[in-house]
Amino acid sequence: MASTGTRSTGRAKGRLEAFSDGVFAIAITLLVLEIAVPTVTGNHLLSELLHERPTYLAYFVAFMTIGVVWIEHSALTEALDHVDAGFQRLNLLLLLLVGFMPFPTRVMEEYLSRAHPEHSGDRVSVAFFGIILFLMSLMLIVLGRYAEREGLFGDAAAEERSEENRLRYQLGPSLILYAVATGLGLISPYLGVVLYIAIGVFLLLPIRTVRRWLRRGG
């Protein structure tokens, strides 16, 4: 009876998925649009392009992070049977952070670039970037927990998610790792960025596939 009542107040998830995918696509597009073309004279374009390493690095980290969040968000919403008003509002908070990502990316790129040889603010810029990464990971966990608590998953998906592999082995630890990386970014900016990349690679790993490989190897 409780399940029937929950479903009757549920909402179709199609519009939420379409809107979310649009925000992810726009955020990634804005990352590219924020990259400025260097203005040079003579035959110095190649050297100027090589000097834009902080720009490429910031773009790569931000693109990979948004991609990881999109993968996780897609897996979550595909498993949903329906959504409710609470889930929609929490989802907006996640999208708020995703849409905001081009700004901390630009700040980090600017303060890691050669335009700031004194590196004033580079540590704060890397930490600021890390805080947004931490909050996005946190919101993914909050969305998953909310969906489980409110019974938004279909029966098959709910049973499959009961193992909580991603939460236990990747999403949960990523909060600690992002917090550590953010703190280290205040000490050594490039070390913080390297750790952001390492965490992104860690989150990209398909945990179930890796576990199957380990079982076969054993």
Taking only the tens place, the pLDDT of each residue in 166-194 is 555 577 888 899 999 999 999 999 999 99
Whether 130 shows a pLDDT value over 90: the answer reads yes
User: Highest mean pLDDT range out of 48-52, 72-76, 110-114?
Assistant: 72-76
pLDDT at 3: 42
Place of tokens 């029966």: 155
* pLDDT grade for 156, boundaries at 50, 70 and 90: low
pLDDT at 210: 57
In the chain, domain spans: 45-217
Whether 86 shows a pLDDT value over 70: the answer reads yes
Taking only the tens place, the pLDDT of each residue in 12-70 is 888 999 999 999 999 999 998 877 776 766 667 777 777 678 888 889 999 999 999 99
* pLDDT grade for 163, boundaries at 50, 70 and 90: very low
Which of the pair, 11 or 64, is modelled with greater confidence? 64
- Give me the residues paired with residue 80 across strands: 153
Mean pLDDT of the chain: 81
pLDDT at 2: 40
